[in-house]
Amino acid sequence: MIELDDVAYSYSGVQLFFGVSLGLPAGSFHFLTGPSGAGKTTLLKLCYGELLATSGQVRLFGADARQHDRDQIALARRRIGVVHQDCQFLDHLSVTDNVALPLMAAGRTAQQEYDQVSDLLGWVGLSKQAGQFPPELSGGERQRAALARAVIMSPDVILADEPTGNLDWEMSQRLLRLLIELNKMGKTILVATHDLTLIRAAKAEVSTRVLRLRDGRLQLAGADL
């Protein structure tokens, strides 16, 4: 699905990480840990083509990301659902319309796909909030809406950047359960998180691989997690 081969990334002359090699095969579940500032968000951005590596190669579905033109990147991103840290909603649109934005960007109207959006909001437990606006949602509701928007196009890969960072444990578990369900449906999952308790809870439910980004290197985390 997504492969990084000996990848490095630098900005303003500072090398954030180097020698990163990573494969995300179909149906796998990965966690990415590491201290703040280690480059977890940057690594996720490389995985969906938002950034290009300083050196090394990033392959999205078998094709070198550097060789993609704008249309090819757009097509690749339709196969990758991203849950951002800040959710990035349009506050003047309802929850339904925010979730449907990827459909409209692909030339499909929310009216045509209403049943799909409605079913998806039901799956994440937001049917009653469908007509509300983002500022009216709680933190947990916003993250579940963000997950619904990330999977509306039925992507092959879901990347989540600290999706439970501001949630209580009950809401964190609820979001984790949705991610596990997606993985059991065959989706590839990569979650960047500081929450070791969340990782342990997932490991009890599904086969996971835990990676740690620290001191510029990506390593497989130990069995203590």
pLDDT digits (tens, 9 = 90+) for 160-169: 999 887 778 8
Q: What is the mean pLDDT of residues 3-27?
A: 93
Between 36-40, 158-162, 219-223, the lowest mean confidence (pLDDT) is in 219-223
189 CB neighbour count, 10 Å cutoff: 22
Q: What is the mean pLDDT of residues 130-145?
A: 92
Asked if 143 and 167 touch (Cβ cutoff 8 Å), the reply is yes
Give Cβ neighbours of residue 26 (< 8 Å, ≥ 6 apart): 1, 156, 186, 188
Residue 160's Cβ-side half-sphere holds a number of Cα atoms within 13 Å equal to 32
pLDDT of the residue at 110: 55
Q: What is the mean pLDDT of residues 148-155?
A: 90
Q: What is the mean pLDDT of residues 7-35?
A: 93
Whether pLDDT at 28 is above 90: yes
Question: What angle separates helix 95-105 from helix 114-123, to the nearest 10 degrees?
Answer: 130
Spacing of C-alpha 137 from chain mean position:
20
Whether pLDDT at 157 is above 80: yes
Taking the whole predicted model, whether its pTM rises above 0.85 is answered as: yes
Asked if 29 and 202 touch (Cβ cutoff 8 Å), the reply is yes
In order of start, what are the domains of the chain with their CATH numbers?
1-79+155-225 (3.40.50.300), 85-148 (no CATH)
Whether pLDDT at 139 is above 80: yes
Q: Copy the structure tokens of residue 162.
A: 């600290």
pLDDT of the residue at 12: 85
Q: What is the mean pLDDT of residues 139-155?
A: 90
pLDDT digits (tens, 9 = 90+) for 49-106: 999 999 999 999 988 998 888 888 888 888 999 998 888 899 999 999 999 988 877 7
